[in-house]
Amino acid sequence: MGIRTLDEMDSVDWSNLEDVSEAGEELLSRLDRDRIWLGSLVDHAIRSPDLFAMCEHYDILDKIILHEGSSGWRLRLHVFGPGYFDRPHNHRWTYSSRIIHGRYRHTLYGTDEQLEDEAFSVATLKPVAVRTEREGDTYTLHHSMIHSVTAAPFTTSVVVRGPAESERFLVMDRPSGAAWWQFGAARESKEEASLKRMSVDRATECLRTLQRLRVVEDGSRSRTKALARLDRSEPQRRH
């Protein structure tokens, strides 16, 4: 496909998994090889009020939005904290991911088509594949795939995800058999959005971790200046 610039990702056919895989592999591997370019994208995310407003912090996961394309696709950096695991879930969008530091155990449970079976029970959800995604590995997942991740401390991935195919996704808890829908930012309340909005202090801590791990290189001065500007004026979150 020959992805040379971020804007060329706008032409990707996100309904064609082979196209997504080819374009995602090319873009993410370039970012992995060129940590200065990756660092410049992190710098831009910090300087941009619109991008920084979309960055999120959870107890054991940080998401930095590096770029948003005109067709609705996004480039993100994920940093998994110590003890990270998640419940089986699908997604609102198809995506490609590359591990650029660390590793995680990746469990696949099949597509969400099985949820249409009246006999289906979350408690009996069984893995169909278990993988270890290591540094340098790239994979592409259709939005219908149910999966879960258990990550080593500070595992870092760069993710390119397509436009949203649905306004909600399903999360399942196997031990209790419970399942519930979660929605995108457009359906969140101001209180829900504020709980996960990344603060300037958290961004500073996250970036120091990325620098220490050599996930990103250079740009330290511009990061410091950008964080100082953001500290004086917190951005409004976009929905």
Three state DSSP letters for the chain: CCCCCHHHHHHCCCCCHHHHHHHHHHHHHHHHHCHHHHHHHHHHHHHCHHHHHHCEEECCEEEEEEEECCCCCEEEEEEECCCCECCCECCCCCEEEEEEECEEEEEEEEEHHHHHCCCCCHHHCCCCEEEEEECCCEEEECCCEEEEEEECCCCEEEEEECCCCCCEEEEEECCCCEEEEEECHHHCCHHHHHHHECCHHHHHHHHHHHHHCCCCCCCHHHHHHHHHHHHHCCCCCCC
Which pair of tokens denotes residue 59? 């107890």
User: Contact at 8 Å (CB) between 205 and 26?
Assistant: no
The strands making up 145-151's β-sheet, listed across from edge to edge, are 129-134, 103-111, 145-151
The boundaries of the domain holding residue 67 are 6-219
Does the structure show a pLDDT above 80 at 223? no
> How far apart are the C-alpha atoms of 47 and 230, rounded to whole Å?
8
The enclosing domain of 56 has a CATH number of 2.60.120.10
User: Does the predicted model carry a pTM greater than 0.95?
Assistant: no
- Specify the pLDDT at position 121: 83
The answer to whether position 1 is within a domain reads no
- Specify the pLDDT at position 2: 55
The answer to whether position 39 is within a domain reads yes
The answer to whether position 212 is within a domain reads yes
**Segment 95-135, tens digit of pLDDT:** 999 999 999 999 999 998 887 776 678 888 899 999 999 99
- CA-nearest of 184, 173, 162, 137 to 29 is 137
The answer to whether position 11 is within a domain reads yes
pLDDT band at 224 (very low <50, low <70, confident <90, very high): low
The answer to whether position 227 is within a domain reads no
The answer to whether position 224 is within a domain reads no
- Specify the pLDDT at position 43: 87
Structural domain count, the chain: 1
The answer to whether position 27 is within a domain reads yes
Does the structure show a pLDDT above 70 at 4? no
The answer to whether position 228 is within a domain reads no
